[in-house]
């Protein structure tokens, strides 16, 4: 039982990180119907910005987090303007290919200009382990889900309660109609990219703290898992991404607990296949009939 | 709609153009060196004035200190050889390729060194998974290849052109199992390793087999995949069994990360590992969590044989740093290879490989090396090092085969 509770905690803290990255995927997809494969690399760049900030001003968590989020937001908007905007009316496959190109570009830019090697992430939060009835966890394992939860609440508030949020939802429903109603679509798309990228950067810094080692390719697998989380929850739906991330984290951990660590990733992906077979639009997805 | 179509056709056009341009350029490029090479050829029949040796090592990536120090070791050896007039009166020239510790890159690098650079022999790579990808290409082209540090048993089984300068994992696993059971006097152990890596897997398997043969018990045998950062689920399982020691057979980067999580989870067991731990970076990532761990290695800078003392001195002078086992073995591999070239008397792959497999009592930095002609593995002893405060390594024990 103790072991099970321990695994539950492990799964939640891992799932929160997937959820944070998945949110950016899902937001961008919801607005521009683009699977932004460079998203995992923005998460990586976010971690590097946190790393560089800590080296400049010392290992302080909040300044590093905010600078990383701001930096990644700028990067996200720039990428959108340079790489995706000219292709907005091109077939989707062209934008998808561009996204892969951007991903490779970012990885190699970090390799070239920062370091091609693994770097130890500075200890921004002093690790304090606790033990409660045989279950061990550290303050980091509490802070990570808390920060993630806070960001999700802020995000939900922006999307549901503010004017840009309403415009976002309008653009996601029907871009052309929203434009006719006076919504500045370009601006909304930029805001979406900025928010999605800053969430990814937050995940990058949190990962740096939880697993203190960063490298230029850290975004590849994390991005893939987050993408799967977004699809699992129903791509384009914000609570779906959060749920999907938690689900993936727990599935991986439970696979280790009940089956074998060798099957960890396999189990997560098998669950994805089953969910998509039974409910193709994802856990929280609604079936939308295609208009002809 | 029509703008979209126009855009598509434009993109397609650009792509087609780029493709044509790319194709047109490609054949032009290799043509150039060929043209340049041609006028030089009539002068060539005599004998090439230099010996080209290829080096494949992970100079960047997850085990970058391995690659950098391997390169330094080779460089130092070649410099010393050239200062003494070279090998067979010829200057030794190095062609260095970075494989980033990725097997596909190693295969491409070996292919390039053989077909484009036309090297006489290859030194590399570091990780077994990489050498295993490159070795078949060297073997089929009959180019002798010596890996300084690939300890997986399968590496030299690729063929008679493949050698190594280090001991093999079954021996290394046995050394650590014996050390744990007899020196540390522990009875239970757990293993945690990367299931996608030939080295970590082979080492964990041999540790388990040997530890159980001695009478110990392996209570948990857990795996992960390359690139994983979270090991808490596996460590939770291990913690439930409360083993005396935890055997981590991965490289320093991942070991440091695991060690941190081990202590965070409240596990008190002693950490053990193999030669993959040997890097100054281990302490930087693992911090205090890794202190008190033990690992088997090829070389200790405290070694007192004259070759090791001279090497330590020369290396410090050249790079202002203490050498690690990677540098020592790379140096040894280069010296073994060049010794074989000298004895072969010509730059012929077959002759060099025959000379190399008859290497006997070669006085190397990492001890006296005799290569077993049947397996092409050297017969040599191992050291056990302890990780002290601040991530420094101290000599703990010497284990003979």
Least confident piece of the model among A30-44, A129-143, B17-31, B47-61: B17-31
Banded pLDDT at B81 (limits 50, 70, 90): very high
Question: What is the distance between the alpha carbons of residues A95 and B11, in angstroms, rounded to a whole number?
Answer: 12
Question: What is the distance between the alpha carbons of residues A126 and B66, in angstroms, rounded to a whole number?
Answer: 30
Least confident piece of the model among B11-15, B118-122, B240-244, B312-316: B11-15
Banded pLDDT at B14 (limits 50, 70, 90): low
Are the CB atoms for A47 and B229 separated by under 8 Å? no
What confidence score (pLDDT) does residue B8 get?
57
Are the CB atoms for A158 and A164 separated by under 8 Å? yes
Write out the residues of chain A at the interface with chain B, using a CB-CB cutoff of 8 A. 2-3, 6-7, 10-11, 13-14, 87, 89-91, 94, 111, 116-118, 120, 123, 127, 129, 131, 136, 138, 140, 207, 210-213, 215, 217-218, 220-221, 252-253, 256-257, 260-262, 264-265
Residues in chain B within 8 Å Cβ distance of A3: 236-237, 239-240
Question: What is the distance between the alpha carbons of residues B381 and B379, in angstroms, rounded to a whole number?
Answer: 7
The pLDDT mean for chain A works out to 88
Report the pLDDT averaged over residues B147-162.
91
- Residues B200, B286: one domain? yes
Question: What is the distance between the alpha carbons of residues B114 and A20, in angstroms, rounded to a whole number?
Answer: 47
Q: Which has the higher per-residue pLDDT, B390 or B293? A: B293
- Residues B274, B218: one domain? yes
Q: Is the backbone of residue B385 left (phi > 0), alpha (psi -120 to 50) or beta?
A: beta
**Shortest CA distance from A8: residue in chain B:** B233
- Distance (Å) of CA B57 to CA A22, A164, B71, B145, B366: 36, 52, 7, 13, 20
Share of chain B above pLDDT 90, in %: 53
Q: Which of B200, B197, B178 is nearest to B189 (CA)?
A: B178
Per residue in A74-117, pLDDT (tens digit) is 999 999 999 998 988 888 889 889 999 999 999 999 998 998 88
**Token pair in block for residue B372:** 């077993």
Are the CB atoms for B274 and B66 separated by under 8 Å? no
| 3-state DSSP assignment of residue B124 | strand
Question: What is the distance between the alpha carbons of residues B359 and A269, in angstroms, rounded to a whole number?
Answer: 51
Rounded to whole angstroms, the maximal C-alpha distance in chain B is: 80
What confidence score (pLDDT) does residue A115 get?
86
**Shortest CA distance from A211: residue in chain B:** B229
- Strand intervals (E) in B28-175: 50-57, 91-98, 121-124, 145-147, 162-164
pLDDT at residue B33 above 60? no
Residues in chain A within 8 Å Cβ distance of B256: 120, 213
Report the pLDDT averaged over residues A56-70.
90
- Residues B161, B198: one domain? no
Phi and psi for B272 in degrees, rounded to 5? -125, 155
Model's pTM, two decimal places?
A: 0.79
What confidence score (pLDDT) does residue B161 get?
93
pLDDT at residue B1 above 50? no
pLDDT at residue B39 above 60? no
Question: What is the distance between the alpha carbons of residues A221 and A239, in angstroms, rounded to a whole number?
Answer: 22
**Residue after which a domain boundary falls, among B272, B297, B322:** B297
**Is the four-CA dihedral B132, B356, B76, B397 of positive or negative sign?**
positive
Per residue in A174-183, pLDDT (tens digit) is 888 999 999 9
Banded pLDDT at B189 (limits 50, 70, 90): very high
Question: What is the distance between the alpha carbons of residues B31 and A125, in angstroms, rounded to a whole number?
Answer: 58
Per residue in B203-232, pLDDT (tens digit) is 999 999 999 999 999 999 999 988 788 899
| Interface with B, mutate which of A11, A204, A261 (most B CBs under 10 A) | A261
- Residue B76's CATH number: 3.40.50.2300
- Residues B274, B323: one domain? no
What confidence score (pLDDT) does residue A200 get?
93
Cβ contact, residue pair A261, B232, below 8 Å:
no
How far B201 CA lies from chain A's nearest CA (Å)?
12
- Residues B326, B265: one domain? no
What confidence score (pLDDT) does residue B15 get?
52
- Residues B121, B234: one domain? no
What confidence score (pLDDT) does residue B34 get?
45
Question: What is the distance between the alpha carbons of residues B115 and B390, in angstroms, rounded to a whole number?
Answer: 46
Banded pLDDT at B7 (limits 50, 70, 90): low
pLDDT at residue B13 above 70? no
Q: B139 lies in a domain?
A: yes
Residue length of chain B? 401
Phi and psi for B324 in degrees, rounded to 5? -110, -175
Which among B100, B223, B261 has CB closest to A261?
Answer: B223
Question: What is the distance between the alpha carbons of residues A58 and A86, in angstroms, rounded to a whole number?
Answer: 40
Banded pLDDT at B67 (limits 50, 70, 90): very high
Which among A120, A261, A264 has CB closest to B285?
Answer: A120
Q: Is the backbone of residue B250 left (phi > 0), alpha (psi -120 to 50) or beta?
A: beta
Q: B41 lies in a domain?
A: no
Q: B1 lies in a domain?
A: no
Banded pLDDT at B5 (limits 50, 70, 90): low
Cβ contact, residue pair A129, B7, below 8 Å:
no
ipTM over 0.95: no
- Residues B259, B187: one domain? yes
Q: Cα-Cα-Cα-Cα dihedral of A64, A65, A68, A71, to 10°?
A: -110
| 3-state DSSP assignment of residue B377 | coil
- Residues B197, B283: one domain? yes
Which among A7, A14, A117 has CB closest to B236?
Answer: A7
Three-state SS across A70-123?
HHHHHHHHHHHHHHHHHHCCCCHHHHHHHHHHHHHHHHHHHHHHCCCCCEECCC
Cβ contact, residue pair B285, A118, below 8 Å:
yes
Cβ contact, residue pair A264, B225, below 8 Å:
yes
Are the CB atoms for B256 and B290 separated by under 8 Å? yes
Residue that has been written with the tokens 């991530």 in this structure: B391
Report the pLDDT averaged over residues A1-29.
88
Peptide bond into A8 cis (omega under 30): no
Q: Which has the higher per-residue pLDDT, A276 or B341? A: B341
Cβ contact, residue pair A212, B257, below 8 Å:
yes
What confidence score (pLDDT) does residue B337 get?
94
Are the CB atoms for A135 and A6 separated by under 8 Å? yes
Report the pLDDT averaged over residues B24-52.
53
**Shortest CA distance from B230: residue in chain A:** A211
Number of domains in chain B: 2
| 3-state DSSP assignment of residue B103 | helix
What confidence score (pLDDT) does residue A24 get?
87
Residues in chain B within 8 Å Cβ distance of A253: 232-233
Which among A89, A136, A264 has CB closest to B265?
Answer: A136
Residue that has been written with the tokens 């683009």 in this structure: A34
Cβ contact, residue pair B229, A256, below 8 Å:
no
- Residues B82, B145: one domain? yes
Question: What is the distance between the alpha carbons of residues B231 and A254, in angstroms, rounded to a whole number?
Answer: 13
Cβ contact, residue pair B232, A265, below 8 Å:
no
- Residues B185, B259: one domain? yes
Rounded to whole angstroms, the maximal C-alpha distance in chain A is: 61
Cβ contact, residue pair A117, B256, below 8 Å:
no
Query: B318: domain range?
Result: 50-167+302-380
Q: Cα-Cα-Cα-Cα dihedral of A38, A44, A45, A47, to 10°?
A: 150
Cβ contact, residue pair A217, B64, below 8 Å:
no
Per residue in B230-257, pLDDT (tens digit) is 899 999 999 988 999 999 999 998 999 9
Q: What is the DSSP letter of B290?
A: G
- Please name the residues in contact with B333: beta carbons below 8 A apart, sequence gap of 6 or more: B73, B74, B123, B146, B147, B148, B164, B165
- Residues B190, B337: one domain? no
Per residue in A187-224, pLDDT (tens digit) is 999 999 999 999 999 999 998 988 888 989 999 888 88
Question: What is the distance between the alpha carbons of residues B60 and B56, in angstroms, rounded to a whole number?
Answer: 12
What confidence score (pLDDT) does residue B62 get?
83
What confidence score (pLDDT) does residue B22 get?
47
What confidence score (pLDDT) does residue B330 get?
95
Q: Cα-Cα-Cα-Cα dihedral of A108, B326, B89, B351, to 10°?
A: -100
Are the CB atoms for A45 and A224 separated by under 8 Å? no
Please report how many Cα atoms fall inside a 13 Å half-sphere around the Cα of residue B99, on the Cβ side: 34
**Is the four-CA dihedral B224, B228, B229, B232 of positive or negative sign?**
negative
Which among A221, A256, A260 has CB closest to B227?
Answer: A221
Q: Which residues pair with B379 in a beta bridge?
A: B370
CATH code for residues A2-278: 1.10.3470
Write out the residues of chain B at the interface with chain A, using a CB-CB cutoff of 8 A. 3-4, 7-8, 11, 60-62, 64, 100, 195, 222-225, 227, 229-230, 232-234, 236-237, 239-240, 253, 256-257, 260-261, 263-266, 281, 284-285, 287
Residues in chain B within 8 Å Cβ distance of A265: 225
- Residues B103, B141: one domain? yes
């Amino acid at each position: 039982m103790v072991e099970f509770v321990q695994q539950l905690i492990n799964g939640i803290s891992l799932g929160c990180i997937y959820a944070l990255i998945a949110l950016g995927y899902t937001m961008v997809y919801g607005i521009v119907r683009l699977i932004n494969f460079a998203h995992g690399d923005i998460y990586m760049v976010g971690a590097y910005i946190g790393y560089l900030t800590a080296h400049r001003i010392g290992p302080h968590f909040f300044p590093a987090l905010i600078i990383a989020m701001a930096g990644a937001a700028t990067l996200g908007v720039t990428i959108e303007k340079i790489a995706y905007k000219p292709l907005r009316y091109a077939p989707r496959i062209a934008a998808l290919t561009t996204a892969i190109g951007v991903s490779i570009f970012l990885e190699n830019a970090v390799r070239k200009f920062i370091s091609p090697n693994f770097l130890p992430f500075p200890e921004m939060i002093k690790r304090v382990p606790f033990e409660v009835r045989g279950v061990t966890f550290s303050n980091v394992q509490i802070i990570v889900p808390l920060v993630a939860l806070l960001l999700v609440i802020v995000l939900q508030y922006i999307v549901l309660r503010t004017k840009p949020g309403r415009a976002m939802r309008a653009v996601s429903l029907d871009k052309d109609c929203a434009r006719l109603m006076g919504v500045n679509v370009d601006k909304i798309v930029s805001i979406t990219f900025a928010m999605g990228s800053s969430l990814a950067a937050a995940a990058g810094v949190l990962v740096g703290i939880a697993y203190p080692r960063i490298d230029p390719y850290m975004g590849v697998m994390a991005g893939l898992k987050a993408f799967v989380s977004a699809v699992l929850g129903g791509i384009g739906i914000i609570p779906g991404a959060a749920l999907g991330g938690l689900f993936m984290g727990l599935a991986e951990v439970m696979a280790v607990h009940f089956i074998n660590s060798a099957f960890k990733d396999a189990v997560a992906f098998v669950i994805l296949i089953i969910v998509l077979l039974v409910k193709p639009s994802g856990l929280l997805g609604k079936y939308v009939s295609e208009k002809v | 709609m029509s703008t979209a179509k126009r855009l598509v056709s434009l993109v397609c056009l650009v792509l087609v153009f780029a493709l044509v341009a790319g194709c047109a350029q490609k054949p032009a490029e290799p043509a150039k060196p060929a043209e340049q090479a041609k006028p030089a050829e009539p002068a060539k029949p005599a004998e090439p004035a230099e010996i080209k040796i290829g080096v494949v090592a992970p100079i960047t990536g997850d085990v970058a200190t391995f690659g950098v120090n391997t390169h330094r070791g080779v460089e130092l050896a070649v410099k010393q050889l050239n200062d003494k007039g070279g090998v067979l009166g010829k200057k030794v020239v190095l062609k260095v390729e970075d494989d980033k510790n990725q097997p596909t890159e190693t295969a491409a690098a070996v292919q390039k060194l053989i077909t484009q650079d036309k090297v006489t022999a290859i030194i590399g790579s570091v990780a077994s998974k990489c050498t295993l990808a490159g070795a078949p290409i060297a073997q089929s082209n009959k180019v002798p290849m010596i890996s300084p540090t690939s300890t997986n048993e399968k590496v030299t089984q690729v063929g008679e052109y493949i050698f190594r300068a280090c001991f093999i994992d079954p021996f290394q696993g046995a050394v650590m199992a014996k050390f744990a059971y007899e020196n540390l006097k522990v009875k239970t152990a757990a293993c945690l390793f990367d299931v996608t890596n030939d080295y970590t897997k082979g080492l964990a398997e041999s540790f388990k087999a040997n530890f159980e043969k001695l009478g110990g018990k392996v209570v948990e045998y857990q795996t992960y995949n390359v690139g994983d950062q979270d090991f808490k689920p596996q460590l939770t399982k291990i913690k439930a069994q409360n083993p005396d020691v935890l055997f981590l057979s991965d490289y320093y980067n991942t070991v440091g990360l695991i060690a941190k999580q081990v202590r965070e989870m409240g596990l008190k067991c002693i950490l053990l590992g193999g030669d993959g731990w040997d890097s100054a970076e281990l302490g930087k990532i693992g911090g205090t969590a890794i202190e008190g761990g033990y690992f088997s290695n090829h070389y200790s800078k405290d070694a007192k044989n004259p070759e090791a003392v001279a090497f330590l001195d020369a290396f410090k002078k050249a790079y202002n740093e203490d050498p690690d086992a990677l540098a020592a073995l790379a140096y040894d591999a280069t010296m073994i290879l060049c010794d074989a070239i000298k004895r072969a008397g010509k730059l012929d792959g077959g002759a060099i490989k025959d000379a190399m497999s008859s290497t006997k009592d070669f006085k190397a930095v990492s001890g006296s090396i005799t290569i077993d002609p049947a397996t092409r593995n050297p017969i040599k002893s191992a050291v056990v090092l302890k990780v002290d405060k601040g991530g420094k390594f101290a000599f703990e024990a010497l284990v003979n085969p």
